[in-house]
Structure 1
């Protein structure tokens, strides 16, 4: 073409229609059989930009790190560190600061790893492309391609841009865009009417692969304007929202902060009003703040989620975001693919039909199966495995299983012509030499295509009815027909000559059987109140058959045969139907995204499976994006929240159960942590309300020893608690349910906390009264009662720890009795209790620690008194749960 300036109408906003007649497309793109000139390509590169998938700018690491450091719980921990420095305990202050920094760094790394989908998309583009410029073929960087370039495609090439075939044909693997593993044929020629763009037989797309053939194609879209770029844009426009746990922890953190600050301020004023010295009032206010700040909450939640991640990884589910473990527990809808997830992705010859309805042992059945296997292009690798289209592999393997084997090498030796599968005709045919030396035409394809070529109409009518029946059973149906050529007839050179006057041998049905464990997993979903929808590119009849086979659609199944055409209003109406599970057939990337958005707008928590590049936006948008580890693409894995290493639907259900268990366990250790806030606050309240006549029963240092020392390991051990009985027999929790509920606060602050506070104050006053103390007696250094006062505060501290032991045992279950879950079933908790008792003994009896924490050795009678605290705390909660169970049964 002439080296003219770029046409002003040829801009990215006015990309020509690639389906218009080829001469018109060439004219609009100002290109021809010799391609573009080098200078014109350079000018267009300046207009269109490089042929690469670009991502929007991301916030810097420092900004993201700062966002983690000002998380509400992090702010509370900063406050706790500041209070530790104020109290003169720099070691604890630095330890708390280190916890904040470690948590922020860990969260930052997790988020940065989860946002790589677009970079992975870019890796699908080849580094080099073969292009014709100035009439000569040459290799250029793929990023330098522009609309109007004439590219050359050969077997094994990664297609560098969206293009329209102008010469020749190829077989293309479009699985990264369509999710279907079967290669499709792409030929130069006119397009089809009213079919999706990905099904157009003359178009190829950036990032897909040419598996066979050779062709030339005219580039009509590059970079962000390709199908690959459009998917990248969808991925970037679908923001990843905070998980329910992340949102709830922020709310709880602000609640705790408000309570702590308010209580500190109120009691500071109260202390001054009742005549306490200002110094004592400040110490009192600091003690209240420290007592109300659960320093161990954030690291304990993080570590509990990390434990859940490791447990799920061993079960075949790799979680990429810690908070997603909790989100799994609230999932109430699973949108799943069919092929490979519900099924084995192993096509098998499952059924057949002949016009004579002969049995499997009949000669016509054997002839049908052998003919179907001959009409293939499967090859055998050096290791003996078959390679090729999965459908054709199933035909060859099925023939061998039924004692009519077809060897690919012998098949090819007797082949005289091959007319490959044509997506427009929906059939293929071969000409084979028989053992008698004659030629036979064998054609196979879609029943409606093959049956239209028959000479006899009556078998065609009966065959169509039989084909409908096989399809209703979930099979992919192919018709096989033959024609024997007269002796001495040369092989046909055109497919129109070959594919005429055919005689029907029969129908074969191929079936991808369900995974054997899926039906039980679906039943578990239904018992747990989960809805399961199928979103697939397959036909509605095939997907509906698989759905019924595994139990999806109980009590009612709806099938949307062309889900691309469904509008938002119709979709909303479908999703509102109670007790209905839906098959969304012939789905596109937008369909999955539309379904995910609609379910979210209905307040549902959605898990969405996917394996192709086309699935990335929907995986990104769903609460839990589930990618396939074996068959999935890198893009799907990067865009997802969870990767299944076994591609198995049952693993999703296992992950949901694990998510529920982790959520329950988070609530258990929150009950445990919050329960001792009451006995930490009550001593300061008693001190303030008595106007100092009762000495301070607990010191700030002893509170920090509890919050950062004795409570941590039992809290972590509660995060490893086994699932309670019936965890998958209850409905999903509402998405609006907070991780901390009113009942939990009543149980922890009210019942467990009140009982613990009463017990520890009993221990405190017992020690003082035994020493002869009366209200108002001085207990400061140098007074006769000072040692008794140190012993009394130590009894308060040790009493809180022993009450923690009872709380930890009680918190192991929300509803069940301890005997139902077993006392010794959580050895980590027993080890944690052992550690906190040993740590407490060290603070009480080791002289260096006595001096640091203001403790004194406890006499034997005081030890005996506080030793009964654990069964008293646990026993009161066991009694409460017993009453609740009786009410529930009645």
Structure 2
């Protein structure tokens, strides 16, 4: 019969329709009331595979390490090492290889973060399931369940597969799929048409649990075909794309590689043509490669982002991926939940309406408030706090504040039945004993669900007007009604229509106030050019009122009352409207995914909030998936890029501001690092173009000492620079804007680099000429000028370091004057400068290091000369920035 599965049309990659008539479903699954035989279950297990959520294959550590070693900048250094070995300079070759390996290992440790969303989903599945096999109940591993199995469900069981109830009924906790905290009733019987599958009254789903009752169910989907598996598949398919910074750094790396190789090739040929020995020409090529490669760029960017992560963590935003810090800086759309993110998630009873007195106080208020509080299931914990649905807690607290407290023990003692909230009916009811032999039904729920159940002659039109007014004021509105049953009547069931012929007691308006800091955060978003959309499952009028109260959608707010029904064409049209902010009401997690996809298609950088398991695909798809740390599920937190420890919208805005600051600081230390490429390259050009008549002013090991020793700490300190004034007063940068642009290259290579190159070559020639050198004089070992030559190369090396000091001070601002941010406001930079000067002094004056790096002690006059370089470099750039500010005013 194993082959008969596919012979009869039941392919292993298809799921039968679980809502078809039960005899037809059983026939399609080839099963019966006695379940499957053990042999048939084994055959089906071979066809369908185990009932488990299978994670995607992870990239191996070795492959990830090889990727780091094959980075364009790393490839350049490999080439330089190879040339060093060819030229017989083994010490230099091994030094360059060590640099490559250290950079690769560092990047691997920082960036290696496995995707854990699917593994977290798998933890929702139970280890064992109770199943009918060979007509007898038995426990089997949950992974061995197959379509057609008949499973037994009891109170407390975790459901192991998607199944349809065949007999009995349970209350199921679907919160991990739907986000609804209240259990829902699931009964054997026919399905409903035109409702979402998660709301079907006769279906249960893998990963959820039975809180009450007993039932049997026939499995129709296992493994990846379940709702849980579908979410896992979406999470795997919506792979994260490289961040803008990652793409731009790789692009810049290829640019640098092309320039370095081209320059090395051209000047290698030039060196040979002008008569340089091959060894010198190779040394020259190695020098150009090493000088053009900013070895400290990748680790400096990585460490700067890591610092940004730590700062944001202290501010309430935990960032899981380093590059996301930079992505935050380019975000231009935020899609946010309402409850708990924009609001306090502290529901309070705020307003009452009764048919007799409207919103004016009246005798009917007490009956209304007490009835609403009795129609709850909240319980008081040992610490005295209420536990349960926040809406019901608000009703119970509201009754106590109005001097009609409800004791949960007395409430339960008089309760005869409780029909929990049903998301399809949007109602909840309780049946209570009043006098002996008399019963009373109390119903509460959405007004559009309760009002049609009223008996004739009641003011339904006035009630609907009151609903609109309360919802328009930002309140969640519930209607409360009752029905007195005849003397001696039995407790009705919900299927016997207990909720009919009701009398309206009134309306209650519940208000969850906006967080006080949200309005200012939204204003900062608008000043920064960000658009804020609300994606919520709440009523459109309520969400719109909250939006307006915090400044979202002012002056143009669009409300999509039923956002699940919106098609792609209409969605694209709405999202293209300039200056429009939208409330997507009555939305589902699928709506979030659809909105994220549409915004990405329009070239927007999207931050999307979410807290439920089925929010995981949308959190993956957004550039920045934002999970709630307090109210969110584990799966949402694993699928997200950022976790808010305080669930607060204002923290998102703070994170965006930090992202902009980090991006600006990355650009600052790129200017700082690139500014030294010119004075490092120019000495080799002078050597080559002079045909060797000018000795090499700088050695390759000295370049490595600069790039990896003296420049690293100041570069990292620039990554901690405070934001320049107006960072949140400018629009988001386009995602296509490179982290390096023409202005930066002109400033670093053309201005700061040129000034530095002129100064250091002045120091080099000053030392040689003072010693009586003339072009072409020998300076090699054993010659009279050799010591002066070592002193001259040391002056070049130390001059580049002191120029770094001036560049570091100049790079602290892009437009503003240094006095606007303060000379001593970055103590880490001052410490980094002190370290690089001490490090340079050690290389210049310590005999062991002199031997390794080819340096010599500098006389006082040379020290005084290069001490002038920092103010000269910073001062010339200060004049340039002053001229730019004056030109733009």
- For the residue of structure 2 that corresponds to 1:773, the secondary structure is coil
Residue 174 of structure 2 corresponds to 174
Hey, what does 2:790 align to over in structure 1?
Answer: 790
Assess, with a 3 A threshold, how the Cα gap between structure 1 residues 83 and 550 changes in structure 2: closer, same or farther. farther
SS at match of 1:594: helix
Contact 1:69 1:104 in 2 (8 A): yes
> How many angstroms does 1:84 deviate by?
6.1
What CA distance in whole angstroms lies between the structure 2 residues aligned with 1:375 and 1:637?
Answer: 34
Q: How does 1:45-60 map to 2 (within 5 A)?
A: 45-60=45-60
- Work out the CA distance in 2 between the residues paired with 1:43 and 1:671: 66
> Structure 2 unaligned runs (5+)?
none
Partner Cα separation in structure 2 for residue 770 and residue 395 of structure 1 = 92
CA distance in 2, matches of 1:109, 1:152: 47
**TM-score computed with the length of structure 1 as normaliser:** 0.94
Tell me what 1:392 maps to: 392
Deviates more, 1:339-348 or 1:201-210: 339-348
How far apart are residue 20 of structure 1 and its match?
A: 2.0
C-alpha contact (below 8 Å) 1:110/1:320 kept by paired residues? no
The answer for the alignment partner of 2:755 in structure 1 is 755
Query: 2:282 aligns to what?
Result: 282
Larger CA deviation: 398-407 vs 553-562: 553-562
The C-alpha deviation readout for 1:21-44, integer Å capped at 9, x for no partner, is 333323333333333333333333
| 1:801–1:840 CA contact under 8 A, matched in 2 | yes
CA displacement at 1:633 relative to structure 2: 2.1
Structure 1: tracts of 5 or more residues without a match: none
- Residue 646 of structure 2 aligns to a residue in which SS? coil
d(CA) in 2 for partners of 1:831, 1:183: 59
What is the 5 A alignment of 1:264-275?
Answer: 264-275=264-275
Q: Which residue of 2 aligns with 1:768?
A: 768
Q: Which residue of 2 aligns with 1:322?
A: 322
Residue in 1 aligned with 2:603? 603
Correspondence 1:440-479 to 2 at 5 A:
440-479=440-479
1:447–1:726 distance in 2 versus 1, CA, 3 Å: same
The answer to whether the 8 A contact 2:431-2:439 is kept is yes
Matched, 1:382 2:400: no
Counterpart position of 1:623: 623
Inter-partner Cα distance in structure 2 for 1:301 and 1:497: 66
- The CA distance in 1 between the partners of 2:858 and 2:465, in whole Å, is 90
Shift of 1:809: 0.5
**Equivalent residue, structure 1, for 2:300:** 300
- Residues 153, 668 of structure 1: alpha-carbon distance in 2 compared, 3 angstrom cutoff: same
Counterpart of 1:33 in structure 2 is 33
Following TM superposition, by how much is the alpha carbon of 1:305 offset from its aligned partner in structure 2, in angstroms?
A: 1.4
Report the 3-state secondary structure (helix = DSSP H, G, I; strand = E; otherwise coil) of the residue aligned with 1:533. Answer: strand
Match status 1:548 vs 2:548: yes
SS in structure 1 opposite 2:165?
Answer: strand
User: In the alignment, is residue 575 of structure 1 matched against residue 575 of structure 2?
Assistant: yes
The residue matched to 1:504 in structure 2 has which SS?
A: strand
Which SS does the other structure have where 2:459 is aligned?
helix
Q: How does 1:685-834 map to 2 (within 5 A)?
A: 685-834=685-834
Instruction: Deviation per CA, 1:243-296: give whole Å up to 9, x if none.
Output: 211111111111111211221222222222223333333332322222112111
Q: State the distance in 1 between where 2:611 and 2:815 align.
A: 40
1:20-99 aligned within 5 A: 20-82=20-82, 94=94, 96-99=96-99
Note the C-alpha offset of 1:877: 0.8
Q: Is the 8 A contact 1:442 1:481 kept in 2?
A: yes
Q: Distance in 1 between matches of 2:349 and 2:89?
A: 75
Partner of 2:836, secondary structure, is helix
Moved more, 421-430 or 431-440: 431-440
| Separation of aligned partners in 1, 2:105 and 2:800 | 33
Query: Displacement of 1:876 after TM fit?
Result: 0.9
The equivalences for 1:58-457 within 5 A come to: 58-82=58-82, 94=94, 96-108=96-108, 113-357=113-357, 362-434=362-434, 439-457=439-457
Q: Is the 8 A contact 1:154 1:212 kept in 2?
A: yes
**Closer, same or farther: CA 280–494 of 1 in aligned 2, 3 Å:** closer
- Report what 1:639 is aligned to: 639
SS at match of 1:777: coil
Distance 2:262 2:420 in 1: 79
CA distance, structure 2, for counterparts of residue 690 and residue 4 of structure 1: 83
Q: Secondary structure at the match of 1:409?
A: helix
Q: By how many angstroms is 1:784 displaced?
A: 3.5
Distance across 2 between alignment mates of 1:785 and 1:41: 91
3-state SS, counterpart of residue 590 of structure 2: helix
Distance of 1:601 and 1:730 partners within structure 2: 24
Alpha-carbon distance in structure 1 between the residues aligned to 2:337 and 2:217: 33
Work out the CA distance in 1 between the residues paired with 2:91 and 2:170: 70
Q: CA deviation at 1:226?
A: 0.9
CA distance in 1, matches of 2:137, 2:200: 27
CA–CA separation in structure 2 for the residues paired with 1:710 and 1:3: 71
> What's the CA shift string for 1:652-689, capped at 9, x where partnerless?
21221111111111111111111111111112222223
What is the match of residue 673 of structure 1?
A: 673
Q: Which residue of 1 aligns with 2:879?
A: 879
- C-alpha distance 4-99 of structure 1, shift in aligned 2 (>3 A): closer
Q: Aligned partners of 1:635 and 1:417: how far apart in 2?
A: 35
Q: Which range is displaced more, 700-709 or 30-39?
A: 30-39
What is the DSSP-based 3-state SS (H/G/I as helix, E as strand, rest coil) of the residue aligned with 2:772?
coil
| 1:525 positional shift | 1.4
Rate the CA distance shift 1:47–1:851 in 2: closer, same or farther, 3 A.
closer
The answer on whether the counterparts of 2:87 and 2:279 sit within 8 Å (CA) in structure 1 is no
TM (normalized to structure 2)? Answer: 0.94
Q: 1:563-621: per-residue Cα shift (whole Å, max 9, x none)?
A: 33333222222221111122223333433222222222211112222222212222222
In 2, Cα distance between equivalents of 1:11 and 1:153: 27
CA distance in 2, matches of 1:489, 1:197: 39
Instruction: Indicate if the aligned counterparts of 1:352 and 1:508 stay in contact, CA closer than 8 A.
Output: yes
3-state SS of paired residue (1:832): helix
Give, in whole Å, the separation in 2 of the partners of 1:260 and 1:662: 28
Q: 1:83 to 1:639 in 2, by over 3 A?
A: farther
By how many angstroms is 1:819 displaced?
0.9
- State the secondary structure of the residue aligned to 1:616: helix
Q: Deviations over 1:66-99 (max 9, x none)?
A: 1221111222343455566667776665555445
Farther off after superposition, 248-257 or 738-747: 248-257
Residues 32 and 539 of structure 1: is their aligned pair in 2 closer, same or farther, counting only changes over 3 Å?
farther
- Give the secondary-structure state (helix, strand or coil) at the position aligned to 1:855: coil
State whether residues 844 and 858 of structure 1, in contact with CA within 8 Å, keep that contact through their aligned partners in structure 2. Answer: yes
Which residue does 1:662 correspond to in 2?
A: 662
Q: 1:337 Cα shift? A: 2.3
SS of 1:457's equivalent in the other structure is: coil
Measure, in 2, the Cα distance between the counterparts of 1:799 and 1:524: 45
Q: Distance in 2 between matches of 1:846 and 1:112?
A: 40
- From the superposition, tell whether residues 640 and 428 of structure 1 become closer, same or farther in structure 2 (CA, over 3 Å): closer
Aligned equivalents of 1:250, 1:822: Cα separation in 2: 34
Deviates more, 1:730-739 or 1:447-456: 447-456
Write the distance in 1 (CA, Å) between the matches of 2:155 and 2:689. Answer: 87
